[in-house]
Amino acid sequence: MARPREFDATEALNQAMQVFWSRGYEATSLSDLIGAMKLSKSSFYDTFGSKHEVFLAAIEHYKKTVTAQVSAVSGLDAPARKLIESLFERAVNRMTEEGGKRGCFLNKCAVEVALDDPAAAKLIGGGFAIMEDTFLALVERGQREGEIAPDKDPRALARYLTSSLNGLMVVGKANPDPEALSDVARTALTVLD
């Protein structure tokens, strides 16, 4: 009979995600993971299998937690254009606050591994698709509300907003200047006019 787990697998996965987010996939060692997750080697292997498998699980965990929070914005009771603006404002604030330069975990993973890791690329793409669908819902609503130009392709705008928001966070890692990032956000949002 198998022994019951003596740890919270979700919390262990959250800790793994934090390590990958801070250090990156390549720079994270197995001992970094085991230490952060507070697991024995046998528990790690029994539960997660390998460093790569826990990495993929961490990307999925990010999508289900952080990206899901972004997605929930589309359901808020406020003008859609204001909600889009708030996503950009939050990104600027996040990149300029203490400890905020880590940016987006999906961005970090995309830049580091997506080119050479098809399994990770698929998960990362799924996370970006959630963001795009969130922007799509908001753009379509904003067009119905009369706050976003009705003659523009909503899917194209959603794709542009997704790439602009992610680009802002990448740039913010190297230059977390609030004025510069606010300029980027303001300019990106002019596509809605």
In this prediction, residue 4 carries a pLDDT of 46
Measured between alpha carbons, how far is 42 from 44 in angstroms, rounded to an integer?
5
pLDDT digits (tens, 9 = 90+) for 119-134: 999 999 999 999 999 9
Q: How many CB atoms lie within 10 A of CB 13?
A: 20
Residue-range domain boundaries for the chain = 56-192
Residue listed under structure tokens 């970006």 = 128
Superfamily of domain 56-192: Tetracycline Repressor, domain 2 (1.10.357.10)
pLDDT digits (tens, 9 = 90+) for 9-48: 899 999 999 999 999 999 999 999 999 999 989 989 999 9
Least confident of 3-12, 79-88, 168-177: 3-12
Exposed, middle or buried by CB within 10 Å (0-12, 13-18, 19+), for 112?
middle
Is residue 141 within 8 Å of residue 80, measured between CB atoms? Answer: yes
Tokens standing for 28? 């994270």
Tokens standing for 34? 């085991």
